[in-house]
Amino acid sequence: MSELRTTALHDRHEALGGSFTDFGGWLMPVRYSSDLAEHHAVRTAAGLFDISHMAEFAVEGAGAAAFLDYALAGAISPMRVGKAKYSLVLAESGGIVDDVIVYRIAEHRFLVIANAGNRDAVATAFAARIGAFDVEVDDHTDGMALMAVQGPASRDIVEATDVVTDVTPALADLGYYAWASGTFDGEPLFVARTGYTGEDGYELLVPNRAAGALWDALLAAGEPLGLVPAGLAARDTLRLEAGMPLYGHELSLDIVPAQAGLGRVVAVDKEDFVGKSGLAAVVASDAPVLVGLVSEGRRAGRAGYAVFDGADAATPAGEITSGALSPTLGHPIAMAFVSPSLSEPGTLLFIDVRGTRIPATVTALPFYRRNS
């Protein structure tokens, strides 16, 4: 078994008393204090996450936009410089290799951020798709640190970090799914208004050599505003409440985008892209689709738990992919793949929670939306 990797902020996490877990081959903080405290801090003030395990690919060249149009499911060429876009890397079959965010840095330069556990899969897919495109793809993951400030106080915190300077455009003018450039203590700084929590916030990318100082500066600026360091456990319940998929749970090579509610991400009118022929095949009418489930009480369905269409049904009608007792809403929530015939909101299903059938109602995603 290979040794787990650590980020440039690992010593900070240890000093803060973080508990660690293996995530995508990285030793990452799962919590510092309590899952609930960190979750509520993000919903009410702000949380600071180390997400340096994510993979960063620079895509550059005269053919960069055309290459990404072919390599990804979305329409990348129409993107404006300064904007970001959620997209998918598909297999020839139409199954999902990974979900990514693409940032247009310049006319012929893009940044693609992929999931940690899929770094090699995305690198392999990009290498196989370059062909005759005039493009270079470079993996910058090992030299970069990425952290996220998420929550209603996030803008005030980043603006109060006095060694963050020359941010252009100013955060007050930065739209959602857009990015700005700046400097931090003389180092290049990339600030994106993106996140994975359902709250407003920013993701900040700097060279590893500046990571520790930026983390410290953000904590210092945020302490008076309620900022706390937050780990993977809070990040998971936050993204679940926001109905955001997690690769390996809601997304996989065995799932096509439409099943996961991501059909809108695919630019089906593009002339060609990897996965187009696979998606053109007729999807079985009974192929499971992703739904939200809500129930009462305190017993939550977890990933892998069976879903039934009756209290006494013998054969499962689906399976939970992610589930938890929602810290914000106060009742159990879950995402599950079920038969399309059972996917209508209001449908009553049952989750097998350790031998007990718990009633659960199908609901539209997301479970939670921020007020503004």
| Beta-bridge partners for 26 | 5, 23
pLDDT category at 165 given cuts 50, 70, 90 is confident
Query: Who contacts 55 (Cβ-Cβ below 8 Å, separation ≥6)?
Result: 113, 114, 115, 116, 118, 119, 122, 123, 139, 141
pLDDT category at 30 given cuts 50, 70, 90 is very high
| Beta-bridge partners for 204 | 147, 191
Residue type, 354: R
Q: Enter the tokens of residue 48.
A: 């600071």
Q: 278: how many CB neighbours lie within 10 A of its CB?
A: 14
Query: Who contacts 120 (Cβ-Cβ below 8 Å, separation ≥6)?
Result: none
Q: What is the pLDDT of residues 250-277, one digit of tens each?
A: 999 999 999 999 999 999 999 999 999 9
In the block, residue with structure tokens 């309620």 = 226
Which helix (H) or strand (E) segment holds residue 368: the answer is none
Determine the 3-state secondary structure of 241 from DSSP: helix
Q: What is the pLDDT of residues 126-155, one digit of tens each?
A: 999 999 999 999 999 999 999 999 999 999
Q: Enter the tokens of residue 133.
A: 């495109």
Strands 84-90 and 96-106: antiparallel
Which helix (H) or strand (E) segment holds residue 350: the answer is strand 348-353
- How many whole angstroms separate alpha carbon 141 and alpha carbon 74? 23
Question: 184 vs 16, 174, 219, CA distance in Å?
Answer: 23, 18, 15
- The predicted pLDDT at position 372 comes to 63
Quote the percentage of the chain above a pLDDT of 70: 99
Q: 36: how many CB neighbours lie within 10 A of its CB?
A: 14
| Beta-bridge partners for 165 | 183
- How many whole angstroms separate alpha carbon 140 and alpha carbon 51? 14
Q: What is the pLDDT of residues 98-136, one digit of tens each?
A: 999 999 999 999 999 999 999 999 999 999 999 999 999
DSSP string computed for 182-230: EEETTEEEEEES--SSSS-EEEEEEEGGGHHHHHHHHHHHHGGGTEEE-
Query: Who contacts 75 (Cβ-Cβ below 8 Å, separation ≥6)?
Result: 69, 267, 270
Q: At what angle do helices 119-129 and 64-71 cross, to 10 degrees?
A: 120
Mean pLDDT value of segment 215-224 = 97
Mean pLDDT value of segment 205-215 = 98
Report all structural domains of the chain as residue ranges with CATH numbers, in order of start.
10-51+142-241 (3.30.1360.120), 55-139 (3.30.70.1400), 284-363 (2.40.30.110)
Question: 238 vs 11, 101, 148, CA distance in Å?
Answer: 25, 19, 13
Q: Give me the phi and psi of 330, to 5 degrees please.
A: 85, 10
Q: pLDDT at residue 162 above 80? A: no
CB 327 within 8 A of CB 237: yes
Q: What is the pLDDT of residues 177-187, one digit of tens each?
A: 999 999 999 99
Question: What value, to the nearest 5°, has the Cα angle with vertex 68 and ends 67 and 74?
Answer: 140
First to last CA, the chain: 46
Q: CA torsion angle for 118, 144, 262, 347 (degrees, to 10)?
A: 80
- How many whole angstroms separate alpha carbon 31 and alpha carbon 286? 40
